[in-house]
Structure 1
Amino acid sequence: MTDILIDGLPATPDDLAHQALVNYGAYTSFRVENGAVRGLDLHLARLDQAAVELFGESPGEAEFRRLLALAVEGRDKAWIRVSLFSPEIGHRNPSFVGRPKVMTVVSPPPPPLAAQMRVTAVPHGRETPHLKHVATFGQTRVRRAARAEGFDDALFVDDQGHVSEGVTWNIGFIQGDRIVWPQAPMLPGVTQVLIERGLIQTGLGGESRPIHLDQIAAFDGAFLCNSATPACPINSIDTVAFSEDPVWLDRLRDAWLSQPPQPI
């Protein structure tokens, strides 16, 4: 069952029609367990930043928490998407500045993206990559093309051949006892940050640096992560194959699990 609220009230047909017709806004999504969320502080900061940048004003942390609590009330487990939009903004009149509306969509938790992935590198970059915005046409088009070619998904590279991010995930590379994250214009994923926070507790190190596509064969392994998928091995990027190490995957998941859920 999916429930949709807008500013804590049942969604109206007009609000939903605007969402369908005007592709301007931002969102974040995550799993809720017993009224708590892993990385909630990061999700709230993401919403606050996007609200100010896209609309000029944020509802604020207290209001976000109130609306989240309303949305998940009575549920032990749920998946929630929190979206920001304004019915005052349209294609002909985009100039409104003010507080956006907050739409919460609650549904059952989804399964992880996959147990393993074969991906292809594609020249592509999301518009305004530091924001998790609702303009996802390009990502869907690239994923469709990758699957039509027999791959599971696509990895973005810039016009200089530097790795950035996946369609809806971040990528990390394994080198010895370290995780190496690409340094490029992209969305800093919440799960990526949670893993980074927990690395020291699992005896691992981490760093970010530019990674050219020509350099990926030198790594010991690769994985992807997002809010639905704490760690999934990438078996190959085009013709470059990686070995899957269950011990490494356990250590990555342990790093993620070391960051406790935060109460709404």
Structure 2
Amino acid sequence: MSEWSSAMFIDGLPATLEDLAHQALVNYGAYTSFRVENGAVRGLDLHLQRLDEAAVDLFGESPGQVEFRRLMALSAGGRDKAWMRVSLFSPEISHRNPSFVGRPRVMTVVSPAPPPLAARMRVTAVPHGRETPHLKHVATFGQTRVRRAARAAGFDDALFVDDKGYVSEGVTWNIGFLSGDTVIWPQAPMLAGVAQALVDGGLPAVGLSSERRPVRLADLHSFDGAFICNSATPVCPVSAIDSTV
């Protein structure tokens, strides 16, 4: 089957040049993204909750989950396999005049689904933390710069740590550590990932448990393994973090 072109919509209508110009010039907003498979989405309720909470946090009002669902279905256009990004923005907000409070507009982008990040990953620990880490926001300059530097150094990606060596998250993913029959999720400022929540919720069914606690780089040698997860890469083993294999 041939690949199809991406499509962008604003509140259900084809995006205009004016809409996209504002998006290019004003870097204020939030989004979520996910894979559509067989016309369905894993963890859709969690993606909707993320959008709802981000809308209230950043704009003071949300279009509501019923409207999000309507716009997603409209944008999918009957496709049963795709990648979708749903973004929130407001043309009323600019760098000079950021005070608008009200319902944001909704941009949906539908494109062919991307492959997973990797089959295995070798990452490097980097002192970094995302701005407003609990939000999946559009200010991604820092993440892109860190990933670019990691790959230039020969790694697949970067793992964020604070100035005391405590692990938080990766550039666009969460990390879990294996200790016997327990998955350890780092306890730190980070984005609560949808894939992370789905993996965590499924652990009891395979005889595993989980806990959240602070994880230091100095602790890495004590774990049996590690993996990353996000919506594009449901799970991927980490083969090494710097020199720790």
TM-score for both structures, normalised by structure 2: 0.97
The counterpart of 1:29, out of the listed 13, 17, 33, is 33
C-alpha separation in 2, matches of 1:212 and 1:69? 43
Matched, 1:155 2:175: no
- For this pair of structures, how many residues does the alignment match? 241
The letter for the 2-side match of 1:7 is D
The counterpart of 2:75, out of the listed 71, 77, 81, is 71
Unaligned stretches of 5+ residues in structure 2: none
Matched, 1:165 2:169: yes
**1:240 aligns to what SS in structure 2?**
coil
> Is contact 1:35–1:69 with CA below 8 Å preserved after alignment?
no
Listed as ranges, the matches of 1:222-233 within 5 Å are 222-233=226-237
The counterpart of 1:211, out of the listed 200, 210, 215, is 215
Deviations along 1:73-113, whole A, 9 cap, x unmatched? Answer: 22010110000000000000000000000000000111000
The letter for the 2-side match of 1:138 is G
Q: Specify the alignment match of 1:95 in structure 2.
A: 99
> Is contact 1:51–1:57 with CA below 8 Å preserved after alignment?
yes
The percentage of counterpart residues that share the same residue type is 77
> Is contact 2:40–2:80 with CA below 8 Å preserved after alignment?
no
Listed as ranges, the matches of 1:1-264 within 5 Å are 1-241=5-245
**2:234 aligns to what SS in structure 1?**
strand
C-alpha separation in 2, matches of 1:184 and 1:168? 15
**Deviant stretches of 4+, over 2 Å:** none
Q: Give the superposition deviation at 1:35.
A: 2.5
> Is contact 2:31–2:88 with CA below 8 Å preserved after alignment?
yes
C-alpha separation in 2, matches of 1:73 and 1:203? 40
Q: Give the superposition deviation at 1:225.
A: 0.4
The letter for the 2-side match of 1:10 is P
Q: Give the superposition deviation at 1:33.
A: 1.9
Give me the CA root mean square deviation: 0.6
C-alpha separation in 2, matches of 1:101 and 1:34? 27
TM-score for both structures, normalised by structure 1: 0.91
Q: Give the superposition deviation at 1:34.
A: 2.9
**1:45 aligns to what SS in structure 2?**
helix
Deviations along 1:232-257, whole A, 9 cap, x unmatched? Answer: 0100000100xxxxxxxxxxxxxxxx
